[in-house]
Structure 1
Amino acid sequence: MKSIIFYLFSILALTACSQKNEEVSTSKDTRGNSIFVLDSKWQNQDGKELYLKDLKGKNLVMVMIFTSCQTACPLLVADMKSIEAKIDKKVLKETNFVLISIDPENDTPEVLKKYARKENLDRAPYTLLRGDLESTRELANVLAIKYKQITPIVFSHSNIITVFDKNGEMAGQEEGTVKSAAIAEMVNALK
């Protein structure tokens, strides 16, 4: 089953992100396949409010983490940096790496900003986001990420990295935590 899903995402990635002169639609996406149809409001690490559709026009590499995590999240951040290091500089200019907190109660904009500095994510092309609990759960469902709060500051969660094309359509998805094959697939999805 996993290989069928992987195959479908690979085909989608090759057709969705590979066109060099892809035109980004400025009209409202009515197909329903775009992540930009979600109308939830988010805050970035600078406290600025935005909607996911504000990220339209760039490829997105998206992962859900929490800043107090000491196990899988540092590996996911390392995966994001590995993907960044391996993609062509032209593609990098057209890509935004988005880290979304699954712990919005504790991961305030100030905490996200401090985390970004600590992890060297306080620069382009990185954006850290937090939303309310409902928006976070909705996005997790869209990304097929499961998470559960174990203690007030510890979560059990899926380790999934997702790539979206410039119109917000999923182009690839892989389980993260430093698997070189998964990183290579994410890099290919961005081409």
Structure 2
Amino acid sequence: MRRKLLLPYVLLVVLVLTACSGPGGFKADFEYQIEPFEFTNQHSEKVSLDDLQGQVWLAQFIFTKCTSVCPPMMMNMVELEARLADASVEEYKLVSFSVDPVEDTPQVLQEYLDIFDVKDQSKWEMLTGYTQEYISQFATKSFKTLVIDDPNSDQVTHDTKFFLVNQQGQLVKMYSGNVDVPYEQIVKDMKALIKEGA
């Protein structure tokens, strides 16, 4: 009699735990919708939010004249690309928004990308083609982060996070992109998110 009563309870617990784990094992921290955009990449091609729909992408804010955090962020993103390749993760994009769009022309962004030991440049979208004011408000609205131009120098203050965006164009997680980068967690999250959308 006791076994008969216990079996439905065990099945209920298993059902609840399975539901909590979610499909693919991915759990978003939030779901902030990225506002529509159409910018220009390092090949002088137009890239829009619609172009990225259906793909998982990891974003960052950088600029080529940056003398502090941007080179380490780029190297960390390159390291992440290598780890994604080692984990056989393929369907994704790495998107860099320039916070110095006047200086960072498509040619300058391509030359900057060439400095780094990138495995597959087709994964990378180095974006520009907007005003300084626009990228500041875009960063705040879509990525909940600040981009502040310094009128007294050629430097721009910006966040050092990596931003994970899902197939629906929603920001779902943020990670440190400068120091103590959680590579394993990012790879795990991207792999799970891609599997979830497959």
Structures share fold, TM-score greater than 0.5: yes
> Which TM-score bucket, shorter chain as reference?
0.7 to 0.9
Indicate the residue corresponding to 2:78 in structure 1: 81
Partner of 2:40: 43
Matched, 1:187 2:184: no
Q: Decide whether aligned partners of structure 1 residues 103 and 128 sit closer, same or farther in structure 2, where only a CA change above 3 A counts.
A: same
- Report the more deviating stretch, 149-158 or 104-113: 149-158
The percent of aligned pairs where both chains have the same amino acid is 23
What is the Cα deviation at residue 82 of structure 1? 2.1
Q: Deviations over 1:118-167 (max 9, x none)?
A: 22447121110013124412331121221222245211221110111222
- AA paired with 2:99? I
Q: TM-score, normalised by structure 2?
A: 0.72
Unaligned runs of 5+ in 2: 1-20, 192-198
Match of 1:113 among 93, 110, 113: 110
2:177 corresponds to which residue? 176
**Worse overlay, 124-133 or 56-65:** 124-133
Q: Is the 8 A contact 2:56 2:92 kept in 1?
A: yes
Aligned to 2:52: 55
Between 1:132-141 and 1:64-73, the stretch displaced more is 132-141
* Aligned residues of 2:163 and 2:175 also touching (Cα < 8 A): yes
- SS of the equivalent of 1:64 reads strand
**Bigger proportion of residues as helix:** 2
Tell me by how many angstroms 1:176 deviates.
1.7
Matched, 1:126 2:124: yes
* Distance of 1:185 and 1:159 partners within structure 2: 17
Cα gap change, 1:175/1:15 in structure 2, threshold over 3 Å: closer, same or farther?
Answer: farther
Give the Å deviation of 1:178: 3.0
1:55–1:74 distance in 2 versus 1, CA, 3 Å: same
Q: Which amino acid aligns with 2:159?
A: S
What is aligned with 1:148? Answer: 148
SS in 1 for 2:122: coil
In structure 2, the residue matched to 1:26 is none
What letter is aligned with 2:33?
S
**Pairwise CA distance, 1:89:** 5.4
Preserved contact between residue 172 and residue 186 of structure 1 (Cα < 8 Å): no
One-letter amino acid of the structure 2 residue matched with residue 190 of structure 1: M
| Distance of 2:87 and 2:185 partners within structure 1 | 18
Find the aligned partners of 1:148 and 1:171 in 2 and give their Cα distance.
23
- Moved >4 Å (runs of 4+): 14-19, 88-91
In structure 1, runs of 5+ residues without a counterpart are 1-13, 20-31
- Deviation of the 1:179 alpha carbon: 0.8
User: Which structure: larger Rg?
Assistant: 2
What is the aligned length?
Answer: 163
Secondary structure of the residue aligned to 1:92 is coil
RMSD: 2.5
Amino acid at match of 1:128: M
